[in-house]
Structure 1
Amino acid sequence: MAAVHQQLVTGAAEPGRPTPGLFPVPERVCLTDAERAAAQEANRLITALGAFDYDGTGLACVAGIDADEAVRRLEAAPVEDEVINESLEDPYEYGMDESLQIIGVTFVPGGCVMTQPWGYAPQMPGVLPRLSADTVCYGLYSDPKSSSQGSIARHGTVEGWDLHPGGGPDENVAPV
């Protein structure tokens, strides 16, 4: 991170690496403490995630509810460890009807994340409205055939679908 920080502060490239040149960086521009903290946190999170093949991954990020509440809203039940271990060894060995029924869920600060490394179930239209009751959630499916597709659901209604991930925020919608 120090090399990136140096590049952002001075506009100089790290020795031996090219400058991307995507954005002009004025000389001697200093990051604020908040910007520096955000850059450091981004680096920590990228390192924590590590490298993985995300093609075919589905996820839903839900604000304001924990994993237990997400499970309750979906009327789901825990899956036995041996079933999970078998399906993780080769998720494509099972039929889609079977494998799409298994979704991982975990608590994160501010809400929870549901994920499925091999399918689109977390962002299905039937899932997002249930998860977004009295809150907001974002679903994503990294479709290896047609690129990534995002969805936004708020208060039980899907408001946007087939969205390009990382697109700009809608200035006419207030945060929840």
Structure 2
Amino acid sequence: MKKTRKPHKPRKLPKCVRPEEFKQLIKVTPKKDRVARISFLLAYGAGMRVSEVKRCSPEHFRENSIFIPESKYGVERIVPIPKGWKKEFTKDLPPIKSIRTLQRKFKKYSKLAKLNPQYSFHSLRHGFATRLMESGVPPNQVQVLMGHSNLATTSIYTRANPIDALKNYEELF
């Protein structure tokens, strides 16, 4: 008897937080909740995974980068960060209890910011990758910054954004 294959499902575009949404998220996140603010900035501004953010400590910060000793696949990587982040993030960097804590904080504040309820903490990382691709950073460089082992993983961000496509269409006609 022949086995039947399931039909191939096309990969959906990742749910990503847009710049204006991120600004709103930071706006509703209290300054006293340093864990949330720093975590959101690292995920959105440096493309760090939630597990990498959780393990981040002051000694991982360099002047303009963060050294990630063990990423998802046990590979070291260096992620660039804007000047000034090291000073801001390493002073009184609070310990993060768990990954779940970060995910709960994201859900709490994203709800306050009235963001898409389908967003997850990982949507911040997707926002980072999408911004890079939309800014014209070559896919192989995005791959390195994201810590992807395979360029095919990075290629999901090269798909056209329907909103941007519509804007471009309207500008032409």
TM-score w.r.t. length of structure 2: 0.22
TM-score w.r.t. length of structure 1: 0.21
Structure whose residues are more often strand by fraction = 1
Structure whose residues are more often helix by fraction = 2
